[in-house]
Amino acid sequence: MTAPLSLSLVIPAFNESPTLPALFERCSRGLLSPGVELIVVDNGSTDATPELLESLLPAYPQARSVRVPQNLGYGHGILAGLQAARGDILGWTHADLQTPPEDALRGLRLFGEAPNPEFLFVKGLRQGRPLADAFFTAGMALFETVMLGSRLWDINAQPTLFHRSFYRAWNQPPHDFSLDLFAFYVARARGLTVRRFPVEFGQRAHGLSRWNIDWRAKMKFIGRTLDYSFKLRRSLSESP
C-alpha cells in the first residue's frame, strides 16, 4: 500500500499579530493532523508577530515558523517557507482567514485520489465575493488569459497546492504578488492537470488588505501585474 502524501502548508504573515491566535485555533480543527505541517512565515513583521509566534508554537507541535528579517514581498515570504518545507505536497494560503485554512485538506485529498499526483495542480475558486471585487478579478483573468494564451481564472484564489517535483523545477519565480500568476501559468504551460474546488470567501479577520484598499492601490497592483505578464510572455517567446 502506498503511504499517504504529506502536506506542507505555508502561510505568510506580515504584521498579522491580531489574527495569529485565531489562525492557530482554526488550524487545530483538523488541519494539524498527522502528515501535515504548518509553516507560518513571519515576513519581516514590525509588530508583535515574532513574540506571539514564540508563545503560540509550543502548543502546536506540527507547526513551526520561518523568520524573514525584512519584507521583500509576498512571494519572497512564501518562497522562504517552501524552501523549508518537508512535505510531498506543498502550497500556501493566506493568514487573514478570508478563506478557511483547512480548505487545504480538501485539496490534499485530490492528490490522494490522483493516479499521478506529481502532474496535478490544485487551487481554490472563491465564492461569495463582493460584486466589484469579482468584476475586477474577472477582468484581470480575461486579460491574462488573452495575454498568455492560457486559461487563467481567479488567479489569486487560495489555497494553491502542487507536488514537490513541480516546485523543484521552478526557474526564477517572482518575489511579489505575481507568484500566484507564475505558479498557475507554469502549471498550465507544463501540461499539469488543474483541479479547482469552491471555497467560501469572507471578510478579513483583522486589518486591511495591502493592495485592495482603494482604486489607487488596485491600479498599482494592475501595473505590477501587467509588467510581470509581459515578462512571462517574453520568456515564453524566447524559450526553445
Read off the pLDDT of residues 114-125 as tens digits, 9 standing for 90 and up.
999 999 999 999
Average pLDDT over residues 107-134: 94
Average pLDDT over residues 209-232: 74
Element containing residue 198 per DSSP (H, E):
strand 193-200
Quote the pLDDT of residue 226.
81
Instruction: Report the distance separating Cα 178 and Cα 72, nearest Å.
Output: 13
Quick check: 239 pLDDT over 80? no
CA distance to 8, 122, 169, 213, per residue, from 187 (Å): 19, 10, 11, 30
Quick check: 192 pLDDT over 70? yes
**Contact between residue 200 and residue 100 where contact means Cβ atoms under 8 Å apart:** yes
Quote the pLDDT of residue 233.
80
Least confident of 6-10, 184-188, 209-213: 209-213
Average pLDDT over residues 133-152: 90
State the CATH number of the domain containing residue 230.
3.90.550.10
pLDDT tens for 54-84 read 999 999 999 999 999 999 999 999 999 999 9
In a domain, 111, yes or no: yes
Residue 73: CB partners within 8 Å, gap ≥ 6? Answer: 174, 175, 176, 177
Quote the pLDDT of residue 2.
66
In a domain, 2, yes or no: no
In a domain, 1, yes or no: no
Quote the pLDDT of residue 152.
93
Average pLDDT over residues 139-160: 92
Task: Give the pairing type, strands 36-43 and 120-127.
Answer: unpaired
Quote the pLDDT of residue 52.
96
Instruction: Report the distance separating Cα 161 and Cα 151, nearest Å.
Output: 18
Quote the pLDDT of residue 237.
55
In a domain, 47, yes or no: yes
Quote the pLDDT of residue 240.
46
Average pLDDT over residues 143-149: 90
Quote the pLDDT of residue 220.
82
Q: Is residue 209 very low, low, confident or very high in pLDDT (cuts 50, 70, 90)? A: low
The domain tally of the chain equals 1
Of the two residues 4 and 213, the one the predictor is more confident about is: 4
Provide the domain limits for residue 144. 7-238
Share of the chain above pLDDT 90, in %: 70
Quick check: 50 pLDDT over 60? yes
